[in-house]
A and B are shown apart, each in its own frame.
Chain A
Amino acid sequence: MMDYKLLNTIKCQQGAVRKVRFNIDGMYCITCGSDKTLKLWNPHRGLFLKNYSGHGSDVMDACGSSDSSQILSGGSDRAVMVWDVSTGKVLRRFRVHMSTVTCVRFNEESTLGFSGSLDNAVLIWDLRAHNFQPVQNLKDAKDSITSLLVTDHEVVTSSLDCRIRRYDIRSGSLTTDFVGAPIISANMTQDGQCYVAGLDDSRICLFDKSTGELLNEYSGHHTGDYTIDVAVDKKDKVILAGSTDSAIYCWDLIGSSVVNKLQHEDGSVVHSLHTHPTGAFLMSSTQSQVHLWGEEDLPQDD
């Protein structure tokens, strides 16, 4: 279980890599740099494809659209931007957030953009219209939004006010779960039934989405003062999280024991990681580098 090998390491040369994200089919990845740029890579072959510059400050998060034609990004310049992938031009630039944008997401069809920010708000943007005001403002959180997940009918936000909020659009309800500690990062299992919440006291909790009950708890890693992503592997068997000791911890989802540690060589904090949407791959980022982990090389059809 989780016998990943380091397949590739890319030196991004864009300052610190704030986030690394696969695109929708996992062929490419987007890195968010602290030098105000986004970079598009093919991590499997280590190719640099394009540079997107236009942010006024660090880029904090990015997300590729469902047709891979657009990139949504948010930065500490409080702007949310939509980029055209091929031309590298800015299609939209929303400047409504009052503080650093920490997380951005598309909806399934990439018609809406969601952005969470340190200003406690989650704004929903209509990307079809040329309206530069958000269509809705989810301002229930009492502290910074740390992560944001959008499913087909739900918006899940995690906030430093120790709560996971699930806005169910279908039923028109807001479910708030109090988890007892500020949430640094949250994710969902691939089946969409559980929350994985990385708490600031170096714990990861698995909650049942429907009842809010605690299913499991994982510990052993160290988050320190860093924002460290948590993830779940493709088969919903392993919980993954970065750590300050330069390793990715892999826990058995059911047994809650550490099954593997993917050690990085450069000895710095692994703060961002993203699992491949379909295959057995994992991207992680340490300082200015990103690393591709996987069971074997991608069976390329090129």
Chain B
Amino acid sequence: MSDSEEEEQYPFLGTPLEPIEEGDIPKKKHMGVQDQIATDKYGRRRFHGAFTGGFSAGHFNSVGTPEGWKPTSFKSSRSTKVDSKFQKPEDFMDDEDMDDFGIAPSVVRAKSEYSGSRSSKKRERVNFQDGPIPGEPVLQKILEPSKDTVGVLLLMKMGWKPGQGVGPRLSKMEKRLQKRKSKLEKGSSTVNTKVYGCAMKPPSSSEESGSDEDLDIDTLFAPDDVEVTFSKPKTDVFGMGYSGLDRNSVLSAKQSDPAKAVPDTFRLMDKNKKLAIRGQAFGVGAFEEEDADIYARDDMSQYDFALETPASLREKRKQERAAKEKLLAITGGEDVIEGFEAAKKPASQKKYFPPPTLPPGYQPIHKARKSRFGPERTNIAEVKGPKQALDAEDRSVILGEKVSTRKHPENTTDENKTEELSIPELPPVGPVDDQDFKPFVADPSKQARYEKYLQLVKIGAKDAFSSLQPKNMSEWEKERERTEFEQAAKLYRPLSGMMADRFARAELPDESLDPLAPVAKMSHGVSADMAAAAASKMFGKLTRIVEDWAPVSLVCKRMNIAEPLNRGGKSLCEIAKDRAQPKSRFSVFDILVNSDDPFSRFNKTADSDKRTSSSTAGEPVEKEVLDEPSGAEVAKSSASEELIDPFEKIKFDDPAEKKDLFKAIFCDSEDEEEEETPPPPKLAPHKPSEASQQNVLRNTSPPRGIFANLNLDKLNEKKPVISGSDGKKEESSADTGLPLTHDRLNDSGGVGSVGGHDVAEPPNQDMYGPALPNRPMFVQRHKIPPKPVVVSSSDSSSSSSDEERWVEKDSSSTKKKKKKKKERKKEKKRRKSKKHKEHKRKHKDKKK
């Protein structure tokens, strides 16, 4: 075939492109894929964002424009009401979606009511015509447009009618043959249909026979319609031919009903919507040893759903019975093993003795009781018990070393005893109104100490409290207890004032257990005579109480009344206001602020530690004070009023009276020396070896004026060994002081010669040295070898410790003056107590 022939054969569509001329270069560069932009029909960009793959966004593709996502404005007024607007899906769709190729093309279509489709979702109402013609509306079929498909239409055009089969026309005979053939096929499929009773005559045959005779052989008929068989789709994922197990037993009626034996492999359980899989696949697994009966029909009843099945239980029972029989065989029919005999009498039961009940308050610790008259147990090992480790002090006692300064000889005895001793009897100071408040009830000794503390606070002798604390307490503990007491006292005081008017004591016993108990009428503090007067109707003076009452000034102002005045002409309102003001609210912060901060406490502790070492000389004296029960007695006997005795002072609450005490504590030693007037020299020293005796001698010196001239520092200065530690005093020395003192002392006591101060006479110093005014004495001691100064054992030890302390101090001579002052104060205190002791001694002597 030639080309022209070929060309003729092909039809051409469209307009041909202009032929590209040779040498002509395409003007436009080919656009890359990245440059190609999808646009909608208006030329707007269709995809946005998300790597330009997003769909057109916003109402009318408005994202990115100033109007993007602009919310619609809503306006409605009484005159122009906005009719309720319903949003349609189209509002959210793009125009393209409604196009022919969009997801929801908008095409002109007949509405369902005209299309007459029965497949509408609405269930068709069965409506019977009221008109003359019953049944379906006659004209509906005509009105209904055809909805048949093209194929049907074509078939109909070709002469096919609904209900007929497709194919060439057949004669009667041919048709019958075909029918029989199909019936055979069908019969094989419907083998299972059971028919009970007499089988009916197949209706078709009679029909056929009847028609056979009537009709011509030449007449052709349309073939019968072939029934379309649909294959069941496979919806599960099981293997081919797998069928689920039936719940019901194989033999059950349900199972036996073949119609219901639907081979459903799996199905949803009715309510639980659980996928329950049951069934059995044909064939045997690779690991199965032998072929199971593949034709057996399995069901769930053949599976066990519990560990113990009736069968297993039966088995078990069987085994038990066998064991029992075996045992019976051994025992020979009886319950006793052969060779044994059953006991005639039952074994006697052991009697049970319950443990004794403990008496109430029993403590499982044995405390050795000490005879009151027996000798004190000094054996430490015995006292402490073998288990307790000995401490350094115990060991020193055992070895016969010098008794440690802190440890008191008596400390080795029972601890309780020490505590008892340490709290002397204070003369009761007025009524103690704080008796209700017992913060330390748990520890009676502590409570007792707290009460003592309160008493001391009341008289202003707070510092004396340390002497009341038990010796076995460490300084730190003492300090802590003291602060504890301080806070407890603080805490309680405001409470007693503030809370008093807020709470009332219960007048009636609490009948909380019996709510129905009758409650007596409250008397409200009605005195008996008032009640009696009211009862006898003697109203008047007896039942009337007139008190002062102050209105608030604002009330007076509002009532147009001048503020009431008291007798002094002062406004009652103001007085009441003033009275109300100091009664400030109790705050926890008061306590917090007042309480020592940790740092100051540490400082204190450090100070007190120093004191411990320094104040040891005073302790034995304190001890004696404690031994003496009645300090007041001593005070009575002492002629000197100025003697500072804390227990005597207890009587006076006047702060002016306490001035001496304060001075003694807080003033410089120099001032004190001047002020202090020693008690008159009534007694000759009986025990010159006692260090404290020296004070008595000093006290015998003449009155103040002259005594004031005595400058002990001067004396010290005279000594060749004076140190610079008390330089201040030394500078203010007066030459005249020394001889005068000499005279006076000699005049007064005779025994207390000034030689005590004189270093030139060492033997004298042995006698009087320790009792001299402390500060100069320390200086002396420091320089004089300590050994010759031997007084009592306790004193010597204390002095030695003192000396050590002072040596240390000297070595570090850069210590601040403040500290020195403190030391001095302490010294003073000690001296005071010493004096006190001396007085007592004097008193004793007198008695003798």
Contacts and interface: CB of A to CB of B under 8 A. Distances in A.
Given A152-B559, A169-B555, A174 B539 contact: no
Interface stretch (A70-78, A208-216, A277-285): A208-216
A126 B554 contact: yes
Contacts of B537: 214, 217
Nearest to A150: B559
Given A174-B548, A214-B539, A161 B558 contact: no
A108 B526 CA distance: 34
A248 B130 CA distance: 85
Interface string A150-188: 001100000001110001111111111111100000000
Contacts of A142: 522, 524-525
Contacts of A28: none
B564 interface: yes
A109 interface: yes
B550 A172 contact: yes
Given A176-B544, A177-B539, A212-B544, A170 B561 contact: yes
Interface in B210-227: none
A207 B543 CA distance: 12
B336 interface: no
Interface in A121-154: 124, 126, 128, 135-136, 140, 142-143, 152-153
A140 B535 CA distance: 23
A10 interface: no
A112 B531 CA distance: 35
Contacts of B545: 175-176, 178
A173 B554 contact: no
B551 interface: yes
A69 interface: no
A153 B551 CA distance: 11
A157 to B, nearest CB: 12
A194 to B, nearest CB: 12
B526 A162 contact: yes
Contacts of B530: 178
B569 to A, nearest CB: 13
Contact of A172 (B526, B540, B560, B564): B564
Interface residues of B, number: 35
Nearest to B565: A172
Contacts of A171: 564
A170 B556 CA distance: 8
A292 B552 CA distance: 40
**Which residue, A124, A136, A174, A180, has most C-beta atoms of chain B within 10 A?**
A180
**DSSP class of A's interface residues: helix, strand, loop or mixed?**
loop
A68 interface: no
B572 interface: yes
A212 B543 contact: yes
B100 interface: no
A87 interface: no
A124 B550 CA distance: 13
A163 B558 CA distance: 27
B541 A172 contact: no
Contacts of B539: 177-179, 207, 212-214
A135 B557 CA distance: 12
A13 interface: no
Nearest to B543: A178
Contacts of A9: none
Interface in B544-595: 544-552, 554-556, 558-562, 564-566, 572
Contacts of A136: 551-552, 554-555
Interface in B487-543: 522, 524-526, 530-531, 533-535, 537, 539-541, 543
A120 to B, nearest CB: 11
**Which residue, A175, A176, A178, has most C-beta atoms of chain B within 10 A?**
A178
Contact of A153 (B533, B550, B559): B559
B829 to A, nearest CB: 50
Interface in B832-847: none
A163 B167 CA distance: 125
B543 A172 contact: no
B549 A173 contact: yes
A172 B534 contact: no
A107 interface: yes
B558 A153 contact: no
A107 B559 contact: yes
Given A109-B558, A172-B548, A177-B544, A162 B535 contact: no
A174 to B, nearest CB: 4
Contact of B558 (A112, A143, A173): A112
Contacts of B526: 162, 178
**Which residue, A163, A168, A169, A213, has most C-beta atoms of chain B within 10 A?**
A169
Contacts of B564: 169-173
Given A172-B572, A180-B534, A135 B552 contact: yes
A25 B525 CA distance: 42
A207 B537 CA distance: 11
A86 to B, nearest CB: 24
A175 B539 CA distance: 14
Contacts of A112: 555, 558-559
B617 to A, nearest CB: 60
A128 B556 CA distance: 14
Nearest to A217: B537
**Which residue, B543, B548, B572, has most C-beta atoms of chain A within 10 A?**
B543
A169 B566 CA distance: 13
Contacts of A170: 561-562, 564
B505 to A, nearest CB: 13
B522 A128 contact: no
Contacts of B561: 153, 169-170
A167 B548 CA distance: 9
B546 A175 contact: yes
B549 A172 contact: yes
A180 B546 contact: no
B547 A126 contact: no
Nearest to A138: B549
Nearest to A153: B561
B554 A179 contact: no
Given A112-B558, A161-B522, A211-B541, 16 more contacts: A111-B558, A112-B559, A135-B552, A143-B524, A162-B534, A170-B564, A172-B548, A172-B565, A173-B546, A174-B548, A175-B546, A178-B526, A178-B531, A179-B543, A180-B534, A214-B539
Interface of A: 107-109, 111-112, 124, 126, 128, 135-136, 140, 142-143, 152-153, 161-163, 167-180, 207, 211-214, 217
- Sorted nearest first, the 8 A-B pairs with minimum C-beta distance are A172-B564, A180-B534, A174-B549, A212-B544, A178-B543, A214-B539, A172-B572, A213-B540
20 contacts: A109-B560, A126-B558, A135-B554, A135-B555, A152-B559, A161-B522, A161-B524, A167-B549, A172-B550, A172-B551, A175-B545, A177-B543, A178-B530, A178-B539, A178-B545, A179-B534, A180-B531, A211-B541, A214-B537, A217-B537
